[in-house]
Amino acid sequence: MKLKALLIGLSLAAGFVSLSSAQTVMRNSISITEDSHQGVGLVTFAKEIEKRTNGRYVIKNFYSGALGGERESIESVQLGTQELTLTSTGPVPNFVPEAKILDIPFLFRDKAHARAVLDGPIGQEMLKKFESKGFKALGWAENGVRHMTNSKRSVVMPDDLKGLKMRTMENPIHIAAYKGFGIVPTPMAFPEVFTALQQGTVDGQENPLSVIMAAKFDQVQKYITLTGHVYSPAIWLMNKAAYDKLSPADKQAFLDAAKEGTKANRARVDADDAKGVAELRARGMTVTESIDKAKFVAVLAPVYADFEKQFGKAAIDAIRNYK
For residue 147, give the CATH number of its domain.
Answer: 3.40.190.170
- Give the C-alpha distances (Å, rounded to integers) separating 123 from 17, 46, 117, 242: 43, 24, 6, 23
**Is residue 170 situated within a structural domain?**
yes
Give the H/E segment covering residue 182: none
Judged against a pLDDT cut of 90, whether residue 12 lies above it is answered with no
Q: What are the pLDDT digits (tens) for 231-250?
A: 999 999 999 999 999 999 99
Structural domains of the chain, count: 1
Compute the distance between CA of residue 231 and CA of residue 266 in angstroms, rounded to an integer.
Answer: 13
Helix (H), strand (E), coil (C) string for 57-113: EEEEEECCCCCCCHHHHHHHHHHCCCCEEEEECCCHHHCCHHHHHHHCCCCCCCHHH
**Is residue 277 situated within a structural domain?**
yes
For residue 21, name the pLDDT band (cuts at 50, 70, 90): low
**Is residue 4 situated within a structural domain?**
no
**Is residue 227 situated within a structural domain?**
yes
Compute the distance between CA of residue 32 and CA of residue 262 in angstroms, rounded to an integer.
Answer: 16
pLDDT score, position 50: 98
Compute the distance between CA of residue 138 and CA of residue 121 in angstroms, rounded to an integer.
Answer: 15
Q: What are the pLDDT digits (tens) for 24-83?
A: 999 999 999 999 999 999 999 999 999 999 999 999 999 999 999 999 999 999 999 999
**Is residue 28 situated within a structural domain?**
yes
Residue 110 sits at φ, ψ, to 5 deg, of -170, -175
**Is residue 157 situated within a structural domain?**
yes
Domain that holds residue 313: 22-318
**Is residue 14 situated within a structural domain?**
no
**Is residue 192 situated within a structural domain?**
yes
Between 170 and 84, whose confidence is greater? Answer: 84
Compute the distance between CA of residue 205 and CA of residue 197 in angstroms, rounded to an integer.
Answer: 8
Q: What are the pLDDT digits (tens) for 259-294?
A: 999 999 999 999 999 999 999 999 999 999 999 999
Q: What are the pLDDT digits (tens) for 178-220?
A: 999 999 999 999 999 999 999 999 999 999 999 999 999 999 9
